[in-house]
Structure 1
Amino acid sequence: MADLFDTAASSADRKPAGPRPLADRLRPARLSEVIGQPQVIGPDAPLTVMLGAGALSSLVFWGPPGVGKTTIARLLARETDLNFVQISAIFSGVAELKKVFEAARHRHANGQGTLLFVDEIHRFNKAQQDSFLPHMEDGTILLVGATTENPSFELNAALLSRAQVLVLERLGPEDLSRLVARAEAELDRTLPLAPGARAALVEMADGDGRALLNLVEQIAAWDVTEPLDRETLARRLSRRATKYDKTGDEHYNLISALHKSVRGSDPDAALYWLARMLAGGEDPRYLARRITRMAVEDIGLADPQAQRHCLDAWETYERLGSPEGDLALAQAVIYLALAPKSNAGYAGYKAAMRAARQSGSEPPPKIIRNAPTKLMRDEGYGAGYEYDHDAEDGFSGQNYFPDGMARGAYYEPVDRGFERDLRKRLDWFTRQRTRRAAD
């Protein structure tokens, strides 16, 4: 894993010289040398407080790749005199876990603690995760897990109750620039980059320190006589793929961002999140469905054309495909963001569903029941029904709720867009219904 730090590690902490990757040569020797993550290792941050009190608990580091999860775990073992053992849930099974626990028990019996670092801990199944619990409880191991997935969804509640989750964040541009400077000091040379190319290098790393050091190592191996500009650097280096998992936490974060940007009437932000998802490889058909849902839920009858616009964009995509059809989805997103918003129809539907569940199997009043047979007519089905088209103003004002059920009021149009007109119509019908009830 990438190890990120501010100042050079002491020579006593360095490994013997050899053909080692730059990221390995830049491993921090102390927590204070780690770049970034002040919310975890800064003054008064959780790890600083735990170490100061001499009471380090089991931990789960949640964060993207290349932000120092392995580094911090290794340094915690060093600063607490615990034996550091590292395994990966991708390559380890039950047999290896048993060996790890047995070795930890022997150390524990001899007065030596074990910090067990489990990379990709979310890859273990429930039974494997449960196997850690007794060894955590009796002090045989201090567990430090690392995951790129949301622990709330991927880790057992029992394990989470025994560990503190600490969130590590992607490295910002300033952190990555400091890491470049540190790498240049280690290499004893300045990278042949113009200022614009330096900024592009940081962008290419996309918050991943390990990826940045790999790029730096490539650039350092080039034989160039003049500083490279942004365009030349882009041609020589492949930009890293955007971090995006179409079935993982990032998927739900980005679709939530797109939906809320549309709801918040911000077309620029909505376009940005749409582009992020498309660039990450999201299925445009999924986006077409979600965009149509936004029209139904958040715009509704405030703009009846919004839903039609989304369906047309969806059909256009089906005919054109990508990338041409993506533009139709983008235009639909812009339309939705700028449309008047109302969830009155959505709220009314949910209120009606609650009433339907509460009222059970109450039948309609007889006046509006169908009466195709003589028996049904003899039972009073349809008796007294007033045909609204025959009324003077096209409105009979009869009750259509079940007999004995109080009249419900579920749809409350807002004073925006087309629903202003619907509000006027609804108010007129309400007044007519009240007048007829009084007659």
Structure 2
Amino acid sequence: MADLFDSSPADLPARAPSDAPRPLADRLRPRTLAEVIGQAQVLGPEAPLGAMIEGGSLSSLIFWGPPGVGKTTIARLLADQTDLHFEQISAIFSGVAELKKVFEAAKLRRRTGRGTLLFVDEIHRFNKAQQDSFLPHMEDGTILLVGATTENPSFELNAALLSRAQVLVLTRLGPADLERLMQRAEQELGRGLPLDGGARDALVEMADGDGRALLNLIEQVAAWKPGDRLDRAKLTTRLTRRAAKYDKSGDEHYNLISALHKSVRGSDPDAALYWLGRMLEGGEDPRYLARRITRMAVEDIGLADPQAQRICLDAWETYERLGSPEGELALAQSVIYLALAPKSNAGYAAYKASRAEARKTGSEPPPKHILNAPTKLMKEQGYGSGYAYDHDAEDAFSGQTYFPDGMKRGIYYLPVDRGFERDLKKRVEWFAGLRARREAGRGGPEDGGA
């Protein structure tokens, strides 16, 4: 696990050379918590972990964050600083039998007066029963649990475990932190990397916030034969750009589609295009995006611009015909159109309100006057009796009720004063006034129609 250091390279003592070369990430592993940089929100004096250490009241923890930000290293250094035995397991390779052995060893160790910090990597991989097995050993002090996960603990860990551990969020490393890690690597290697400023920036971008990934890239560069300094273009031809971290079935998937949707709703085409690009670069299925973009049209634009839905469907069809990458441009153009279109959720809100009312009223039948009467019996029962054919009425509007008998008339659709819904609002208001006049027994409207 690679971490950054809070001191400049010149301030740190040189490391003793070893006979067998070790990976750079291992050679640069911090030796104290003070050497870890980044994660100030966790390790700072006023931060949760810093306060725990200062107060001598370390409790079980869950580290939630992306790969390469120091979860394992911080856990190991915590054990060193608190004089706890460090035990590490991975939920990917461990089962119930391995857990029992770990707990038994921790109990024996406790009898000798030493506690155990049990670090569980990928803890979200354990099922509910396996997660429950930690609880009694956490409660009686046999272990101090430190779990690491890249997934949202709210969804992946059970409530009982979360109630006994504090969740600390570790964040991806910033460009300045990664640059300092590069300097530290150059000190360890004993020479500078043959990169100009643009190439150094490109190397940081390729690492994508992952310190361990940066050190792996640096090892590749350092192994090249000596030659001229490389610029950005030469570097990127020699190194394959690291794919952005994107889990199409995990938190990142939902976070990014939420960001795209809210950018469209917020009428920001540039941000919407950025998140669309992020998802496509991460390998998201363009058909999924086409479906979600169409949903945005009906949910957030609606009848304020009836053309928006058609544009989304056309973009979807265009993608199906052209495929990638050409068809993705059609999706991008539909995103731009939606972001700049007038917004209204009036249709969406009306639909939800009508569904809620339908659930409450159950099986209420339609009023008999609007039911067909194909048989004599039905006619005798009053089916169709009193129905007014609207085309025969003045302004083609009879004003009769279409709701169940005895049910108060519902008002669900409240159009906004934007886009095409501005015209629909006028029609709604005109029909409402006309209906009121009909119910009052008066004639047609005085304004001459919609």
Q: Which amino acid aligns with 1:150?
A: N
Question: 1:313 maps to which residue?
Answer: 315
Tell me by how many angstroms 1:13 deviates. Answer: 9.0
- Cα contact 1:300–1:345 (8 A) shared by 2: yes
Question: 1:2 matched to which residue of 2?
Answer: 2
- Which of 341, 344, 365 is the equivalent residue of 2:343? 341
Matched, 1:383 2:388: no
Distance 1:363 1:128 in 2: 53
Please give the per-residue CA displacement for 1:177-218, whole angstroms capped at 9, x wherever unaligned. 111111112222111111111111110100000000111111
C-alpha distance in 2, partners of 1:14/1:138? 42
Matched, 1:194 2:196: yes
Partner AA of 1:360 in structure 2: G
* 1:230 partnered with 2:240: no
Shift of 1:17: 4.9
Q: Which amino acid aligns with 1:71?
A: T
**Equivalent residues in 2 for 1:215-226 (5 A)?**
215-226=217-228
State the shift of 1:91 in Å. Answer: 1.1
5+ unaligned residues in a row in structure 2: which ranges? 442-450
* Cα offset, 1:327, TM superposition: 1.0
Q: Which moved more, 1:244-253 or 1:213-222?
A: 213-222
Matches within 5 A, 1:204-283: 204-283=206-285
CA distance in 2, matches of 1:47, 1:285: 44
Q: Which amino acid aligns with 2:346?
A: A
Letter in 2 for 1:121: I
* Contact kept in structure 1, 2:15 and 2:188, CA below 8 Å: no
Structure 2: how far apart are the matches of 1:128 and 1:354? 41
Structure 1 letter corresponding to 2:3: D
TM-score by length of 1: 0.97
- The answer to whether the 8 Å contact 1:6/1:182 transfers is no
Closer, same or farther: CA 295–160 of 1 in aligned 2, 3 Å: same
Taking only the aligned residue pairs, the percentage that are identical comes to 79
Deviates more, 1:189-198 or 1:6-15: 6-15
Kindly state the Cα deviation for residue 29 of structure 1 after the two structures are TM-superposed: 1.4
Q: Distance in 1 between matches of 2:124 and 2:17?
A: 32
Distance 1:421 1:44 in 2: 57
Tell me which moved more, 117-126 or 181-190: 181-190
CA deviations 1:205-260 (Å, max 9, x no partner) are: 00000000111111122223321100001011111111011101100001001111
User: Any conservation in 2 of the 1:5–1:27 contact (CA below 8 Å)?
Assistant: no
1:119–1:146 contact (8 Å) kept in structure 2: yes
CA–CA separation in structure 1 for the residues paired with 2:266 and 2:30: 44
Q: Structure 1 unaligned runs (5+)?
A: none
Contact map agreement 1:35 1:179 (CA 8 A) in 2 = no
Cα gap change, 1:13/1:228 in structure 2, threshold over 3 Å: closer, same or farther? closer
User: Quick one: distance in 1 between partners of 2:142 and 2:279?
Assistant: 44
Per-residue CA deviation, residues 358-410 of structure 1 (Å, 9 max, x unaligned), is: 11111111111121111111111111111000012111011111111111110
- Alignment deviations for residues 340-369 of structure 1 (CA, whole Å, 9 cap, x no partner): 110000000111111111111111111111
- Is 1:392 matched with 2:404? no
- Aligned equivalent of 1:295: 297
Give the match for residue 101 of structure 1: 103
Q: 1:116 to 1:14 in 2, by over 3 A?
A: farther
Give distance in 2, aligned partners of 1:85 and 1:2.
19
Count of residue pairs the alignment pairs up: 439
C-alpha deviation, 1:11, in angstroms: 6.6
Structure 1 residues 419, 319: CA separation in 2 closer, same or farther (over 3 Å shift)?
Answer: same
Instruction: Pick from 90, 93, 97 the counterpart of residue 92 of structure 2.
Output: 90
Name the TM-score, length of structure 2 as normaliser.
0.95
Instruction: Give the drift of 1:335.
Output: 1.0
> Residues 323-334 of structure 1 correspond to what in structure 2 (within 5 A)?
323-334=325-336
